[in-house]
Chain A
């Protein structure tokens, strides 16, 4: 009997049973899933298709595994979530399209957010009704995040936030934004930051879409002009925002790779008909890059499942994911001259979007150079 056949019946305690059950259910997929697998280069279309699919998967319970019951989940660990997205990737869902925050922001909200709020907000996110954005970067604070200048000043039973965030992915579609703002002195660097949950519908918030080089517009600039936030919407502690940010970045660098790389595997397998003997070596090389992500991010998932986050070691996984993104997309690009020319049909347009995106992954979530510095300092202990 192979290990795959040794499937027990308890999906909550056995990830394989969960995966098998989900797979079985997907034998007759909801229409929303079929719709979400279509190539939809228009980002707004993709968002609606994904939200509809997520609603069905929430209502059927599959997306609620891996989240604590008190937050609206069914229990289980991040391994369930790993199996959930892997299964969807194999069913040709092309990516997480703005549900990435389930694996970037949401773990920190669950761990450190106000429990009452989270028990409402997580189901709303899981079911595609209320989405999230991450407001960290600013025009003058990129890699040097601790220099950020958006301020939150106490008063009126809460805080007033003023400032400008940029590169705020999915803000246009989001209801909530996790804003990192300065509550300490201007010189306090990472010690004087607090993480606030801001309702993007509040008066004083303005969201301006940024058109991207790959033709999508998920990035945005968000300005805050005397925006009121109640004390109850602090994640973690006052002046404890850096810890929240590090929790989020540890996921964004360490475990997110698992979720993302499932889709990269699928991109390879879906593009095989374009391949030929002369590109087999390149294909094999991309597989090696993916395998490195599989095993390092798998270790990351287990570490997080055991409540022992990766810390600086997540830098390796992030670098390896970027390598895999690049090699998978280079292989696709080299095989299909249409990608060079651009948009002929939806399928090509999507591939080109992915290709161009693979050239900027070395910037978001902490640039490649910052990851290399982390390794040089923290692992190699160079001077």
Chain B
């Protein structure tokens, strides 16, 4: 386990450097990520595949990685290869109803749109009208502007249904890691600042009130890190509902870590002088995709209360698999 952790940490460093020094698409190419993606079922390679999301979060990178990952479980029902298709995400807007979004730039790829009940369809991005919206947090999204319900289905409902469940689970874990990356970076900014900024003749990091805020933010991150990596290690043995636990924890703890860091940064944190606002907004935007912390917590509570279903159990399983 320790050796794995080292390998994970090393890959994460490499991925961070790649995202810090080049554009997201270029970073993925240089990391050989699309080739790795085809090996999603390989437990040895899985941590490296997901580390990219954490790096993307901390470096505020943007790429087609999420869409590509989400599409992966569907590909066995098609003749497409990893990286050629990006899956769109369905989200619900209070004012506009169902909206389909693609994270990152689809460029010349195909889009996979999975409509529960009606199977999935694959169309060339060039053939649909897309509206780019620059979400705060340096996260380019594209909204699909056509009525997707009229498109013929490429993957029938039975096949799509199995892929759908898996896609949602892996997507939630990937987004959670991206949230973690962004929250960790926001905390890093605040820790550095606490060591430098002086008030009352001393570094503010010497004040216990400040130290404890930062320690709580770190605890938020550690809880998320541990839970998300645990999910990766469990792989196919992931208990039903655990992906929702990870994503809810990510939304909740990610936001909390950003808020705590913001408090330590004081006024400057609320400006565009520092990257904190980008990181914070990235966390908020990602909280909004594939289930917010608020909605998922409620669902988890509901399913435990009415079905007795408990994603943490049986844990003898968790115990045995390091």
Contacts and interface: CB of A to CB of B under 8 A. Distances in A.
A265 B230 contact: no
Interface string B296-322: 111111101100101111111111111
Contacts of A287: 245, 297, 300-301, 304, 310-312
A281 B223 contact: no
B315 A86 contact: yes
B215 A372 contact: yes
Interface in A316-346: 316, 319-320
A276 B304 CA distance: 11
Contacts of A375: 215, 218-219
B211 interface: yes
A27 interface: no
Q: Which of A269, A272, A380 has the most CB of B within 10 A?
A: A380
B304 A272 contact: yes
A288 B256 CA distance: 14
Nearest to B213: A372
Contacts of A265: 310, 312-313
A306 B4 CA distance: 14
B317 A376 contact: no
Interface string A308-322: 100000001001100
A280 B226 contact: no
A284 B297 contact: yes
Interface string A141-170: 000000000000000000000000000000
B301 A15 contact: no
A244 interface: no
Nearest to B237: A3
A294 B315 contact: yes
A283 B301 contact: yes
A294 B296 contact: no
Nearest to A318: B219
Contacts of A87: 316
Given A86-B316, A287-B245, A292-B227, A281 B308 contact: no
Contacts of A16: 316-317, 319-320
A268 B311 CA distance: 13
A347 interface: no
B2 interface: yes
B248 A269 contact: no
Contacts of B222: 296, 316, 320
Interface in B1-49: 1-2
Q: Which of B1, B2, B248, B304 has the most CB of A within 10 A?
A: B304
Contacts of A369: 208, 212
B301 A280 contact: yes
B194 interface: yes
A304 to B, nearest CB: 12
Contact of B195 (A275, A276, A281, A383): A383
Given A16-B320, A265-B313, A284 B308 contact: no
Given A4-B317, A319-B219, A382-B191, A283 B227 contact: no
A3 B242 CA distance: 16
B135 interface: no
Contacts of B89: none
A260 interface: no
Contacts of A2: 237
A4 B317 CA distance: 7
Nearest to A319: B219
B203 interface: yes
A7 to B, nearest CB: 9
Interface residues of B, number: 53
A380 B218 contact: yes
A284 B299 contact: yes
A367 to B, nearest CB: 12
B137 to A, nearest CB: 23
Interface string B188-217: 000100110000000101101001101110
Given A79-B319, A82-B319, A298-B319, A292 B226 contact: yes
A277 B224 CA distance: 26
Interface in A1-51: 2-4, 14-16, 19-20
Contacts of B216: 319, 372
B294 A281 contact: yes
A308 B191 contact: no
A20 B314 CA distance: 11
A301 interface: yes
Q: Which of A3, A15, A86, A295 has the most CB of B within 10 A?
A: A295
Contact of B297 (A90, A281, A295): A281
B71 interface: no
Contacts of A306: 1-2
B186 interface: no
A283 B203 CA distance: 40
Contacts of B319: 15-16, 19, 79, 82-83, 86, 298, 301
A234 to B, nearest CB: 33
A285 interface: yes
Contacts of A276: 305
Contacts of B318: 294, 298
Nearest to B212: A372
Contacts of A301: 319
B226 A295 contact: yes
30 contacts: A3-B237, A4-B317, A16-B319, A82-B319, A83-B319, A86-B319, A265-B312, A269-B310, A272-B304, A275-B301, A279-B301, A280-B297, A284-B297, A284-B301, A285-B301, A288-B297, A291-B227, A295-B227, A298-B319, A302-B322, A316-B219, A320-B223, A371-B215, A372-B212, A372-B216, A375-B219, A379-B215, A380-B191, A382-B194, A382-B214
Interface of A: 2-4, 14-16, 19-20, 79, 82-83, 86-87, 90, 265, 268-269, 272, 275-277, 279-285, 287-288, 290-292, 294-296, 298-299, 301-302, 306, 308, 316, 319-320, 369, 371-373, 375-376, 379-380, 382-383
Closest 7 interchain pairs by CB? A280-B301, A284-B297, A283-B301, A284-B301, A292-B223, A19-B316, A284-B300
Given A265-B313, A380-B214, 12 more contacts: A83-B316, A269-B304, A280-B299, A292-B227, A292-B249, A298-B315, A298-B319, A308-B2, A316-B223, A320-B219, A320-B223, A372-B215
